[in-house]
Amino acid sequence: CAACIWLNEKHLRTLNGIIDVQINYSTHRARIKWDDLVLKLSQILQAVTDIGYIAHPYDPTRQQEVLERERKQQLKRIGIAGVLGIQVMMFSIALYAGNWYGMATEFKSLFHWLNLILTMPIMFYCAEPFFKTAWRDITHGQLGMDVPIAIALSLAFLGSIHAIFYGGHVYFDSITMFVFFLLTGRYFELQARQRGARAADNLVHLVPTMATRLLKNGIEEELVLVADLEIGDKLLIRPGENIPADGIVLTGKSKVDESLLTGESNPITKNIGQKLIAGTVNIDSPLQMQVNKIGTDTVLSYILRLLEMAQTEKPTITQLADRVASWFVFGVLLFAIGVAIYWWNVSPEIWLTTTIAVLVVTCPCALSLATPTAITAATSNLTQVGLLISRGHALESLARATHFVFDKTGTLTKGRLNLLVTHTFTDFNQTECLQYAATLEYHSEHPIAQAFKSKTSYFMEANNVINHPGAGMQGLINDEYYFIGSPNFIMKMTGLSIGSQLLKTLQKNGNTLVLLAKIRSNNSNIKTPKLMAVFMLNDEIRAGAKELIQALIRQGKSVSLLSGDNVSSVKRVATEVGIKTTGASLTPADKLRMVKDLQAKGEIVAMIGDGVNDAPVLAQAQVSIAMGNGTQIARTSADMILLTEQLPNLLIGINTAHRTLQIIRQNIIWAIGYNLLALPAAAVGLIAPWMAAIGMSLSSLLVVVNALRLTVKS
């Protein structure tokens, strides 16, 4: 429960060397940061054991075994409580009938003793988890949700034993019924929570346990554990097999299904030299691959870490609910004491049943479940459409965003630029200019860089290479400084004056211009800048870009396009997708300033751009979305990452964010409203203990089921 989470987090934070602790109630996983020079993992696990809990390093196979063992144990307790409870109810019906029609004292005493004997296994075995958790919480100075349940059961059981010896009403039927209903409710709640987190579990099981490794002769094969793979190993991937590690294709051509990882429904054709991602499925033909990333370094492992982080981090609305829940049980116990005192003086015969009902009917669990179950369900569902949530606050911030700012290259456009024309202004020919350009761009991951690197296989040695994000590159080649980038960057770095008419002529069709220049020194050490070439590139607009922009505008959102590209190119894209507010030839600092200006006007900004080159602007926005891929996903710090080429999937994310907030509000309103209605009703004797047990169980279950609506695609 929330108290268990609070207790574990608080206890671990007292350890010297702990940096941060976040525990996810829905998945029962903890994310812990610590200084391994000060604290060992074994000490952390022992600290958890010391307060009565069990923890172990995350292992999906072991987790499944634990969950299955827990499920079987729960079913066993439910079965015993149900079978014995039915027999107790049969004897209780006979006792109730005896109260109306008369019953011999010896038979009444016999039925009481039989009910006591039948109830004891329910109290000491079936209800054991309630008592163990309550005792653990009390001994550590915390009031968890099982404390009032344990008190209620103890009062009912001891009161019934007292009644057997000294006369009065017995409550064995109530005990058996609400233990049965509580166990049943928690079982269904557990199953529902696991269903909400199933998408993440599906990702865990994408990587196979075995792989076919090729020996040095390239012909013989051996079957090895994936855990034993090493970087540089050559593997054979047959059709239908999951790829066990990240790497590149050595031989063969085949289609690969990346749908579970990126949400792409269509298989992707992989040729020699192209990247393969662990967890994806080879479909058509055999492939030979070389491993370059294994274990926790793979893209899939990074995605799982981000997903776990998003489900564990607590947004503002969660922190508020947790603070309320932490004081809730204390308030309920005080209220129950007041109710007991009142009825003891007014109507002693019902003080015990009323007090038990008050203790049982309360449901702080529903309040604690309200947010984490919704966040877990939403993040798991969005992962299936290729939208990875990496920060807990992302959905809350996205739902409240009022202004969406887009980058151009690689965001609204495909980011696969084509080199159309090369104009040279030097003795070097087009091929030589391209080689100099590619040598500098070799050190960049920007989409423009890919256009140059794909055109040549010859790269020279470059030293002192400096990347100016969003502007260009510089480096020392053959003892001369070379620069490549936007016209503004080249003029600023070299002092060249480039005629505006020339630039306008080259840009007239909305093409992107990239200039190559160098600075050479003569014998007198006089530095002379020289324009070497102007490259003209173009980029296709991404499918679905216009659909996304128009949908945002219809929702009343403001939309801007901020780009480092030239005015003509930006205007072409903006006109085609329907954006009216634009900014061109901007540096990252310019973009940052403009986003700050929007925020100063009260806008909640969502920034969508290149996760690497737009890092400062992404960090400034209230919520950031990066266009991710296998090469750069691990280098972005954005709040959300779109793994798929389907830009309209962002709409699914926005709509899901709105639905998530709506469901969280519904859950919190229900949790508070239920307790506001149920507590007074129980206090005045309108709710019997067994009814209280049903109400408590249904309250928690309703919250979880409501959150599961987020797993249904709308």
pLDDT at 478 (0 to 100): 87
pTM, to two decimals = 0.66
Phi, psi values for residue 293, rounded to 5°: -145, 135
User: For residues 170 and 157, is the Cβ–Cβ distance under 8 A?
Assistant: no
pLDDT at 694 (0 to 100): 74
pLDDT in tens, 522-561: 555 557 888 899 998 888 888 889 999 999 999 999 999 9
C-alpha–C-alpha distance, residues 369 and 700, integer Å: 7
pLDDT beyond 90 at 404: yes
Active centre residues (catalytic)? 407
| Number of CB atoms found within 10 A of residue 94's CB | 13
- For the segment 610-624, the average pLDDT, to the nearest whole number, is 77
pLDDT at 632 (0 to 100): 54
C-alpha–C-alpha distance, residues 688 and 358, integer Å: 9
- For the segment 7-18, the average pLDDT, to the nearest whole number, is 85
Q: In the chain, what are the domain boundaries?
A: 208-297, 418-538
Q: Enumerate long-range contacts of 255-258, CB under 8 Å, 24 or more apart.
A: 255/283, 255/284, 256/280, 256/281, 256/282, 256/283, 257/281, 257/283
pLDDT at 78 (0 to 100): 92
- For the segment 421-444, the average pLDDT, to the nearest whole number, is 89
Q: Which CATH architecture has domain 418-538?
A: 3-Layer(aba) Sandwich (3.40)
> Are 208-297 and 418-538 the same fold in CATH?
no
Q: Does residue 267 come out as left (phi exceeding 0), alpha (psi in the -120 to 50 range) or beta?
A: beta
pLDDT at 322 (0 to 100): 59
Confidence of residue 84 (pLDDT cuts 50, 70, 90): very high
pLDDT beyond 70 at 12: yes
- Averaged pLDDT of the chain: 82
C-alpha–C-alpha distance, residues 625 and 618, integer Å: 7
User: For residues 605 and 595, is the Cβ–Cβ distance under 8 A?
Assistant: yes
- For the segment 100-117, the average pLDDT, to the nearest whole number, is 82
C-alpha–C-alpha distance, residues 307 and 375, integer Å: 11
Confidence of residue 580 (pLDDT cuts 50, 70, 90): very high
**Single-letter amino acid, residue 491:** M
pLDDT at 60 (0 to 100): 64
User: For residues 596 and 619, is the Cβ–Cβ distance under 8 A?
Assistant: no
Confidence of residue 713 (pLDDT cuts 50, 70, 90): low
pLDDT at 479 (0 to 100): 84
Pairing of strands 246-251, 287-293: antiparallel
H or E stretch including 656? helix 649-683
pLDDT in tens, 625-677: 888 654 455 456 678 888 887 888 899 999 999 998 899 889 888 888 888 89
Confidence of residue 311 (pLDDT cuts 50, 70, 90): low
- For the segment 343-366, the average pLDDT, to the nearest whole number, is 82
Residues in the chain: 714
What is the distance between the terminal CA atoms of the chain, rounded to a whole angstrom? Answer: 31
Tokens 């209620």, residue located: 152
- For the segment 456-474, the average pLDDT, to the nearest whole number, is 87
- For the segment 146-152, the average pLDDT, to the nearest whole number, is 82
Q: Which range (168-177, 331-340, 500-509, 703-712) has the least confidence? A: 500-509
Q: Which range (171-185, 313-327, 332-346, 673-687) has the least confidence? A: 313-327
Q: Which CATH architecture has domain 208-297?
A: Distorted Sandwich (2.70)
DSSP 483-508: EEE-HHHHHHHH-----HHHHHHHHT
pLDDT beyond 90 at 124: yes
For helices 60-101 and 105-121, angle between their N-to-C axes, nearest 10 degrees: 170
User: For residues 264 and 327, is the Cβ–Cβ distance under 8 A?
Assistant: no
- For the segment 173-186, the average pLDDT, to the nearest whole number, is 80
C-alpha–C-alpha distance, residues 225 and 242, integer Å: 14
